[in-house]
Structure 1
């Protein structure tokens, strides 16, 4: 699981509350939303809009099943979410801790949006071109989502049961099934983008996909970007993404790692080239990154086994607080060299290696060539056992 600069098993399926800025200074960014809920008559509906500068929230009172929002968007298409509290029984809450929260993710663009349904989860969108495209997309993804929902319910049910026969095997099977569906979901999204190259929704989805990109996916994302209409792919924000994808495409196995120099915890300069002649794992992490620190036992196992066999680890922290960084090193008892600019996401190494999420690592051979990326859990140990026979 990656910590965003995100994660989870169904990260590919989770709605990304990320802003998308597509056109500069449109004439009119006013929007109105007129909503109708048939099974919920009185409540309060919240509208969350996410921009790169931060999140904005608004609320509307639901009266006789109707609600209304209006405002001015800062961008031409914005990731958004409706949410509201709904009454549930203790049994329902025990089966699903999110049962008391009703929500719906969508993309909001200027114009009049009309939404209606029994509850937020099943509302339909109409009134704008983007709403029409969203309905087409959901028609494709609907069966996948329905299957995922059933798997999620079964997973939660079994997780809560003590003494369930073959509990761990069952949970593992559900996890594998979820991962396969996540891949299917992602492929369906990519096909939609290819089939709708001029759609703002395609642009928004592409932006979401490229928030966190693995080096092995960079080339495919570049092809997807090239397939967008000229009006979309030539935007400034797309040029920024293209530049990042170009860097990532050069950080794949078989390519030389990019040289850098950074200060260690004592202030001494450490260069990547100083590790020439041995295998080195360059591990990006941070004290605030839970998924990063959960990898420590696996890293320690590999380090203790192979440190005397021409292998080392170099930790690169994206912390911006020296005390927290040093505390994490001490708490996790990390014996290998640690470096950091202590500038967080503004560190030069972030742009140099196009870091969009952590944990992230590169295994580099004695000649400075990348041999593997993103080795997680026992993957590093297995790779080193193969290389250092």
Structure 2
């Protein structure tokens, strides 16, 4: 079964944090009956330390939106930490430690809620159910897995339209990347105004704009780029050819790993109405130049040193690399993000018989 979709199934059980706007207060009150010491909360780039006193602790502060909070304790042996969704308002939990003695001793932390905020009220029982359901379909055909995800996400959204929980979930897990545009568009239109103006609404809007901008059949904007020698390159220079516009960076390992395959494709089809135009989003020119030389890349290479603020990235609402678009001889987008065998198959279809 294709591994890329299995990854999304696993992500359904594991929320991922992002970043946002206005600050709101949070309070976490907890009891820890069998442990005295310190508890560590890994709060997005820094660690907050809270002292457990009389088997109780208090953790409070401000956050700009809900996110997943990792926590751990000092146990003197390897720790299996735990997580919960930190959200504005009050959360009351109890924690306990469990020592597992299988080979190397490990300490696991269990978690129970006495009081939850609105996001946790929806997602805690939802994730408990997922942990039961997902193993049943993990090795099922991809079509069956996809059908499960679509139905499950549709139900989550429809049952909780006025809650932030479904919008938080589809963005934080990354599952929005495989959901159909119609479902996402409907979710965005039905979203309360306050959520539309918040972080998760804006992320969903950005993704819908990306889908609209990269829709197959759209003409490619005639971007002006600068190559290794400082020469100006226009997208329109490639009219009359099929051209793969490949966005990459020297620090992007998946991008670098793809270069040998692109060399094979380029060697097979170059000169036969096909070309590659690479755009680096490196912030510094030298690592880009070094990478082009080390990889011995022979197709045209340009750079926009604004990174993810590069004009092309902003225009297409792209937030990750590698990213590519295949244009037809008239400069029309005919495919987006074709990699590996999918790219090879598309080129064989467009340029049959080329050697």
Q: Is 1:375 the equivalent of 2:353? A: no
> Relative to structure 1, is the Cα distance of residues 123 and 343 closer, same or farther in structure 2, using a 3 angstrom cutoff?
same
Residues 334-386 of structure 1: per-residue CA shift (max 9 Å, x gap): 11111111111221221112111111111111111111111122221111011
Deviation at 1:180, TM superposition (A): 7.3
**Could you say which residue in structure 2 is the equivalent of 1:102?**
80
Of 90, 93, 111 in structure 2, the residue corresponding to residue 123 of structure 1 is: 111
From 86, 90, 93, the equivalent of 1:112 is: 90
Distance 1:381 1:319, change over 3 A: same
Q: Distance in 2 between matches of 1:141 and 1:231?
A: 28
Question: Does 2:60 align with 1:49?
Answer: no
CA distance in 1, matches of 2:181, 2:145: 22
Deviation of 1:188 (Å)? 3.0
Deviates more, 1:324-333 or 1:216-225: 216-225
Distance 2:338 2:37 in 1: 48
Q: Distance in 1 between matches of 2:141 and 2:52?
A: 39
TM superposition shift of 1:123: 1.4
Select between 279-288 and 222-231 the one with higher mean Cα deviation. Answer: 222-231
Which runs of no fewer than 5 residues in structure 2 stay unpaired? 98-107
Distance 1:345 1:386, change over 3 A: same
Distance (Å, rounded) in 2 between the aligned partners of 1:290 and 1:236: 29
Partner in structure 2 of residue 285 of structure 1: 248
Match of 2:70 among 78, 81, 92: 81
Verify the 8 A CA contact 1:144 1:181 in the aligned structure 2: no
Q: Structure 2 matches for 1:228-377, cutoff 5 A?
A: 228-235=191-198, 238-239=201-202, 241-377=204-340
TM-score, structure 1 as length reference: 0.74
Q: Secondary structure at the match of 1:294?
A: helix
- Unaligned runs of at least 5 residues, structure 1: 1-6, 89-99, 152-173
1:49/1:78 contact within 8 Å kept: no
Q: Which of 120, 135, 138 is 2:127 aligned to?
A: 138
Q: Residue 15 of structure 1 aligns with which residue? A: 15
Counterpart for residue 31 of structure 2: 36
Residue 317 of structure 1: how far off its partner (Å): 0.9
- Using the alignment, how far apart are the partners of 1:182 and 1:256 within structure 2? 31
RMSD: 3.3
1:109 and 1:33 mapped to 2: Cα distance?
9
1:106–1:327 CA distance, 2 compared to 1 (3 A): same
Runs of 4+, deviation exceeding 6 Å: 176-180
Matched residue count: 335
Residues 1:69 and 2:69 aligned together? no
Give secondary structure in 2 for the equivalent of 1:267: coil
SS in 2 for 1:270: strand
| Shift, 1:104, TM fit | 2.6
TM-score in terms of structure 2 length? 0.81
- Distance change >3 Å, CA 112–CA 140, structure 1 → 2: same
Q: Is the Cα–Cα contact under 8 Å of residues 213 and 315 in structure 2 kept in the other structure? A: no
> 1:15 touches 1:105 (CA, 8 Å); kept in 2?
no
Contact 1:41-1:63 within 8 A present in 2 as well: no
Counterpart secondary structure, 2:167:
helix
Residues 58/206 of structure 1: CA separation in 2 closer, same or farther (3 Å cut): same
